[in-house]
Structure 1
Amino acid sequence: MLNALEVITTVTLGVMVGVEFSVAFFVNPILAGLPGDNGLRGRTHGARLLGAVMPFWYIGSLVLAAVWAVAERHHDGAGLVVIAAALLILSVVMSVLLLVPINNRVKRWTAEGLPADWKQQMNRWDRFHYVRVAVIVAAFTLLVTALA
């Protein structure tokens, strides 16, 4: 049973890391290079789509890691899982306090109704997102290391 929990947790977090890494280093730069407001349209659609899915994914990954940490508290590697869970808590806190407020504004934007500082808001979101990606990559790395 513990092996299944370890695999499910690692795969769930690993796929989430892949999506978030892709958004940071591929999708958003591609959208930024599109002419006119096409990139902005992509980002607003992404804010709606991923904004609906990611809360469940982040919380789900955190819950799985926490259950793993409790279930394996007396085994080798438990400390790594606890640190990974703490990093996932940090990622959720960062999301709620820093990224979600910007995302909630972005998903309502239209080309006709953009705020004057929309580019600065996008850049700010991107900077916070890079840090969040680093945090969840570290958490994923710790979980994989705990498996070894």
Structure 2
Amino acid sequence: MPYWYIASLILTAGLAAAGWGGPAAGAAIAAAALLAVSVVMSIALLVPINNRSATWTADDHPDDWREQQQRWDRLHYARVAVIVAAFVLTLVAATAG
């Protein structure tokens, strides 16, 4: 999934470059920044939790496994909110320019 996030970031950065100096540039830059945040969140915060939980079994798991899964859920919801905001800004940039 981070590949799609990176591709979206590249396309949004291209939109910002194409509209540089125009009325849509600010929205496109903000969208690109939010997409960059989503990539960092995915790689730095969510993937490590996924990697740890992939090794858990019903008999062998840490005592705080529920807390770790709840943390992943919270971070995932935050990432989705960031991505939705980024795509709304991309839509604004694409229609305003």
- Give your verdict on TM over 0.5: yes
1:104 deviates by 1.2
| 2:87 is the counterpart of 1:87 | no
Query: For 1:32-61, what per-residue CA distance to the aligned partner results, in whole angstroms no more than 9, with x for missing partners?
Result: xxxxxxxxxxxxxxxxxxxxxx12111111
| 2:66 is the counterpart of 1:106 | no
User: What is the alpha-carbon root mean square deviation over aligned residues?
Assistant: 1.3
| 2:4 is the counterpart of 1:57 | yes
| 2:85 is the counterpart of 1:138 | yes
Give the corresponding residue for 1:29.
none
TM-score, with structure 2 as normaliser: 0.87
Provide the C-alpha distance between the structure 1 equivalents of 2:16 and 2:55, rounded to a whole number of angstroms.
39
Q: Which moved more, 1:89-98 or 1:128-137?
A: 89-98
The answer for unaligned runs of 5 or more in structure 1 is: 1-53
1:97 deviates by 2.0
The answer for unaligned runs of 5 or more in structure 2 is: none
Provide the C-alpha distance between the structure 1 equivalents of 2:32 and 2:10, rounded to a whole number of angstroms.
8
The SS at the match of 2:45 is helix
Structure having greater relative contact order (Cα 8 Å, sep ≥ 6): 2
Provide the C-alpha distance between the structure 2 equivalents of 1:72 and 1:102, rounded to a whole number of angstroms.
38
Instruction: Could you list the structure 1 runs, at least 4 aligned residues long, displaced by more than 4 angstroms after superposition.
Output: none
TM-score, with structure 1 as normaliser: 0.59
Give the total of aligned pairs.
Answer: 95
1:133 deviates by 1.0
Q: Is the 8 A contact 2:19 2:25 kept in 1?
A: yes
1:63 deviates by 1.2
Provide the C-alpha distance between the structure 2 equivalents of 1:119 and 1:139, rounded to a whole number of angstroms.
30
Give the corresponding residue for 2:21.
74
